[in-house]
Structure 1
Amino acid sequence: MISVSDLSIQINDQPIIDRVEFTIPRGKITSLIGESGSGKSMTVSAMLGLLPANAKVSGNVLYDGRNLLSEPAQVMERIRKKDIFTIFQDAANSFNPSVKMGNQLYAFSGGRVGDSKDVYVTKMHVILESLGLSLDIVEQYPFELSGGMLQRCMIACAFYVEPALLIADEPTSALDMVLQKEFIELVTNLNEERGTTILLITHDLDIVAEAAHAMAVMQRGQVVETGTVEAVFAQPVHAYTKRLLASRF
């Protein structure tokens, strides 16, 4: 679905990402894993066309044959709106604290795909119920909801939009262990039930083992190893991957 090759990023002439290569197969969950500062989020920003103005980028991010790095801003905005849905690290930061959830959920879902408010209410009610959320939350403000509930709200929007690609950037880092497990179950259900392609960015190998089919390991701005989760866990090749796996036990 997406093939990243020779991706390099410089900011203020300092190399941040160096010739990164990996693929995101259609209909699978791929995990981009590495410690904080390894370049995971910067790589995703390049894929989404959201790099800072002072960044210089080269290489290829091929999406259905188109190099996203070469697309104009207006085209990337349409792609982000229609094809790619992103759940960021802390869901609370994705919502405006002074606006009720109903208006914001509509903007992230029904409004995004052009549905009327009536269509949105009917469809979102079913989705919220399936995620264990009451429709009453539409009258609440983000600060009145827990971190887990806000993450479920983002998942609800992803279920509504049914994107070609869901990107989840460190989505469980602000959640406790119980809510982390719940979130991962929701993500895997989205993949299994609707065939959604998912890129899961994390530093947690347990999450990778539980949810992902394939993985790419990043260290210091480079991808040092790729493969199926089963193969990499069974026989890691790179020394950094071996250290990561050893740290699980």
Structure 2
Amino acid sequence: MIEVRDLSIHIKGKHITHHIDFTIPRGNITSLIGESGSGKSMTVSALLGMLPDDAKVSGSIMYEGRNLLDASDQEMESVRKQAIFTIFQDASNSFNPSVKIGRQLYAFSGERVGDSLPVFNEKMHVILDKLGLSWEVVEQYPFQLSGGMLQRCMIACAFYVEPALLIADEPTSALDMVLQKEFIQLLIRLNEERGTTIFLITHDLDIVAEAAHEMVVMQQGSIVETGKAETIFSHPGHAYTKRLLESRF
């Protein structure tokens, strides 16, 4: 679905990524894993066309036959609106605290795909119910909901929009262990029920083991290993990957 080739990112003379290559296959959950500062978030920013103005980038990010690095701001805005849905680390930062949840959910989903408010209400009511959220949440403000409930609201929007690609950037780091597991199960449901391609960025190997089909291992701006998650967990090929796996126990 997406092929990243020879991607290098420099910011203020600092190498963020070094000629990295990896693929996000259609219909799978692909996990990008690495320590903090390894370049994961900047790689996501490159995919979304949201790198800082002073960033210098080379290589290619191919999607539907075109290089996203060559796309204009307007073209990338269209791609983000029509094809990609992103869930960030702390869902509370995605919501306006002074606007009721229902209005924001509509902006994130129904309005985005051109549905009227009545159509949105009917469809979102069913989705929220399936995700264990009461319809009453639409009348509440973000600060009245827990972090786990806000992340479920973002997942509800992803179920509604059915994006070609869902990017989840450290989506569980602000959640406790129980809520982490629930959230990952929702991602798996989205992939299995809707066929949504998911790019999951995390530093948690247990999450990768539970959810991912494919695995991309990043260290200090370089990709050191890629492959089937099951294969890498069983037979890691790179010394860094071996150290990561050993750190689980």
CA distance, structure 2, for counterparts of residue 223 and residue 103 of structure 1: 41
Alignment of 1:177-192 (within 5 A): 177-192=177-192
Structure-2-length-normalised TM-score: 0.99
- Matching residue's letter, 1:119: V
Q: For residue 106 of structure 1, what is the aligned residue in structure 2?
A: 106
Alpha-carbon shift at residue 237 of structure 1 (Å): 1.1
- Matching residue's letter, 1:42: M
Q: For residue 133 of structure 2, what is the aligned residue in structure 1?
A: 133
CA distance, structure 2, for counterparts of residue 58 and residue 107 of structure 1: 34
Secondary structure of residue in 1 paired with 2:98: coil
Q: Give unpaired runs (5+ residues) of structure 2.
A: none
Alignment of 1:163-202 (within 5 A): 163-202=163-202
CA distance, structure 2, for counterparts of residue 41 and residue 114 of structure 1: 30
Q: For residue 204 of structure 2, what is the aligned residue in structure 1?
A: 204
Secondary structure of residue in 1 paired with 2:240: helix
CA distance, structure 2, for counterparts of residue 221 and residue 94 of structure 1: 27
Q: For residue 42 of structure 1, what is the aligned residue in structure 2?
A: 42
Secondary structure of residue in 1 paired with 2:50: coil
Matched, 1:152 2:152: yes
- Matching residue's letter, 2:52: P
- Matching residue's letter, 1:248: R
Secondary structure of residue in 2 paired with 1:96: coil
Secondary structure of residue in 2 paired with 1:89: coil
Count residues with an aligned counterpart: 249
Alignment of 1:41-120 (within 5 A): 41-120=41-120
CA distance, structure 2, for counterparts of residue 101 and residue 135 of structure 1: 10
- Matching residue's letter, 1:5: R
Secondary structure of residue in 1 paired with 2:6: strand
Alpha-carbon shift at residue 109 of structure 1 (Å): 0.3
- Matching residue's letter, 1:33: I
Alpha-carbon shift at residue 14 of structure 1 (Å): 1.5
> Once superposed, what is the RMSD of the aligned Cα atoms?
0.5
CA distance, structure 2, for counterparts of residue 32 and residue 142 of structure 1: 29
1:116-155, Cα deviation, whole Å (9 max, x unpaired): 1011000000000000001111110000000000000000
Q: Give unpaired runs (5+ residues) of structure 1.
A: none
1:90-118, Cα deviation, whole Å (9 max, x unpaired): 00000011111011000000011111101
CA distance, structure 1, for counterparts of residue 194 and residue 243 of structure 2: 35
Alpha-carbon shift at residue 12 of structure 1 (Å): 1.1
- Matching residue's letter, 2:247: S
Alpha-carbon shift at residue 65 of structure 1 (Å): 1.3
CA distance, structure 2, for counterparts of residue 234 and residue 139 of structure 1: 48
1:25-56, Cα deviation, whole Å (9 max, x unpaired): 00000000001110001001001000010001
- Matching residue's letter, 1:64: E
Alignment of 1:214-229 (within 5 A): 214-229=214-229
- Matching residue's letter, 1:173: S
